[in-house]
């Protein structure tokens, strides 16, 4: 049976791999991202590789809140409904610059939390009404505990995780699945050249695993899996010790 899929942030390295692994022959797909020229190239490639029956593209900017409802409703209309929505937008941002710039703080929080929450809220209402669907967000292990090196990015991801947890609780009775993917270090432009990165996974492996979880079902997923145990340790370090650590 053909799936009706909306992919938000479709130009990201990981989301390209999600699309290739998730979209199948005869599926109906809407790709949304800020860079419309790059989006058109990705759409053409996706049609060729997957045999999707329909691939449309639309501009999506997490900070342009006035357009979010129109985007989701347009995708619903074009595809004839929404079975799967995957949101993979976000930016690490410049933590040091943000200390002196309120605009930078807002950009980090909007791109990693607020702009995604507003868009998914609209999709959630549609899926709740139709009594089916799957909402999936690519979040980060950074949201598990605030650290001095990236607490703005981490706090936004923490907010996103809490939002998804509440949405999961709300939508479970309606038969709508809500999945939070907490990613560790993935070899993408976001972490290229950053200090402190280790045990990086490939975008190809991440995309395949995310698509698998969307198809098979999950609640909260750590990828790579060992980050669940790394973050378990970090979350349980006593605060009087943790506040003196350089993480």
Q: What is the pLDDT of residues 137-184, one digit of tens each?
A: 999 999 999 999 899 999 999 999 999 999 999 999 999 999 999 999
Closest CA to 159 of 230, 227, 111, 222: 111
Question: Strands, DSSP E only, in the chain?
Answer: 4-8, 28-33, 54-59, 84-87, 133-140, 176-183, 220-223
Structure tokens at 103: 């605009």
**For residue 35, pLDDT beyond 70:** yes
Is CATH 3.40.50.720 what the domain over 4-242 is classified as, yes or no? yes
Mean pLDDT of the chain: 94
Domain assignments of the chain as residue spans, ordered by start: 4-242
Find out whether 227 and 184 touch, Cβ atoms under 8 Å: yes
**For residue 230, pLDDT beyond 70:** yes
Marked catalytic residue, from 113, 151, 153, 222: 153
Percent of the chain with pLDDT over 70: 96
Dist. CA 121–CA 187, nearest whole Å: 30
| Alpha carbon distance, N-terminus to C-terminus of the chain | 47
Task: Please indicate, yes or no, whether the overall pTM of this predicted structure exceeds 0.85.
Answer: yes
Mean pLDDT of all residues in 214-228: 95
Mean pLDDT of all residues in 92-118: 92
Mean pLDDT of all residues in 217-228: 96
In order of 153, 187, 189, 190, the CA distances from 183 in angstroms are 13, 11, 15, 12
Find out whether 81 and 34 touch, Cβ atoms under 8 Å: no
- What H or E segment, with its residue span, contains residue 247? none
Query: What is the structure's pLDDT at 1?
Result: 83
Could you report the per-residue pLDDT of 125-140, keeping only the tens digit for each? 999 999 999 999 999 9
222 in active site: no
Dist. CA 185–CA 177, nearest whole Å: 25
Helix (H, G, I), strand (E, B) or coil at 138: strand
């Amino acid at each position: 049976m053909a799936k009706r899929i909306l992919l938000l942030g479709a130009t990201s390295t990981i989301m390209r791999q999600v699309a290739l692994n998730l979209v199948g022959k005869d599926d109906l797909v809407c790709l949304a991202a800020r860079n419309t020229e790059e989006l058109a190239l990705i759409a053409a490639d996706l049609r060729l590789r997957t045999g999707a029956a329909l691939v449309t593209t639309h501009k999506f900017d997490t900070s342009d809140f006035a357009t979010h409802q129109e985007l989701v409703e347009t995708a619903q209309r074009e595809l004839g409904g929404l079975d799967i929505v995957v949101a993979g937008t976000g930016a690490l941002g410049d933590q040091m610059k943000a200390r002196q710039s309120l605009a930078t703080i807002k950009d980090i929080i909007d791109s990693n939390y607020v702009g995604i929450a507003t868009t998914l809220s609209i999709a959630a209402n549609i899926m709740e009404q139709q009594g089916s669907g799957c909402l999936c967000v690519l979040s980060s292990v950074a949201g598990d505990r605030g650290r001095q090196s990236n607490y703005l990015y981490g706090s936004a991801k923490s907010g996103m995780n809490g939002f998804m947890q509440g949405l999961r609780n709300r939508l479970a009775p309606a038969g709508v699945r809500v999945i939070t993917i907490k990613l560790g270090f993935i070899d993408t432009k976001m972490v290229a050249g950053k200090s402190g990165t280790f045990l990086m996974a490939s975008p190809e492996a991440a995309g395949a695993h995310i698509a698998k979880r969307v198809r098979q079902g999950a609640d909260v997923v750590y990828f790579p899996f060992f980050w669940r145990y790394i973050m378990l340790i970090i979350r349980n370090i006593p605060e009087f010790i943790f506040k003196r650590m350089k993480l």
